């Protein structure tokens, strides 16, 4: 799979709900995880690989999360920090997000689950759900915080979500 660049309309269009998790959706999830690992990302949304479905995958602290039709259930506190995006390479900006979240969705087995997270996991969940709603992190960045980065700077910022 190839990560879609920020000029593609699929990234600014609301994604379609997945009617049910079947073998095709599971294959998509697996392919997205592989693509996320290859790109050294923290998360990936289906629109980022040119698939207009509400599917996200995340990797935080060696834990993999795969969700279809994710929705935010609870959002508490604030955190502001740097974000990047695999679909917007070379750009980073400070974004204010909820510090703690609970999201619900359907796992790869078709069961509804809830994912609780704080810090980076909370940030990644919100970032990927934004992708499903056609929102890029650049539109949420604190005014004046967007900046170009060079490859050598990447360890100093949050890995692209």
Q: Which residues are catalytic?
A: 128
User: Rounded to 5, what percent of the chain is helix, strand, coil?
Assistant: 30, 35, 35
Whether residue 32 contacts residue 49, with contact meaning beta carbons closer than 8 Å, is answered with: yes
Q: Alpha-carbon distance 25 to 5, whole Å? A: 22
Q: Mapping DSSP to helix (H, G, I), strand (E, B) and coil, where does residue 83 land?
A: strand
């Amino acid at each position: 799979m190839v990560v879609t660049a920020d000029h593609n309309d699929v990234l600014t269009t609301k994604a379609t709900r997945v009617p049910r998790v079947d073998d095709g959706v599971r294959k998509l999830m697996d392919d997205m995880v592989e693509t996320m690992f290859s790109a050294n990302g923290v998360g990936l949304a289906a629109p980022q690989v040119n698939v207009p479905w509400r599917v996200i995958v995340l990797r935080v602290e060696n834990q993999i999360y795969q969700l279809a039709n994710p929705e935010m259930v609870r959002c508490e506190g604030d955190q502001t920090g740097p974000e990047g995006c695999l679909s917007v390479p070379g750009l980073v900006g400070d974004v204010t997000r909820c510090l703690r979240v609970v999201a619900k969705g359907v796992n790869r087995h078709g069961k509804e689950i809830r994912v609780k997270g704080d810090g980076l996991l909370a940030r990644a969940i919100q970032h990927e759900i934004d992708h499903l709603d056609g929102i890029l992190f650049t539109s949420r960045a604190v005014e004046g915080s967007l900046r170009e980065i060079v490859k050598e700077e990447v360890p100093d910022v949050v890995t692209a979500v």
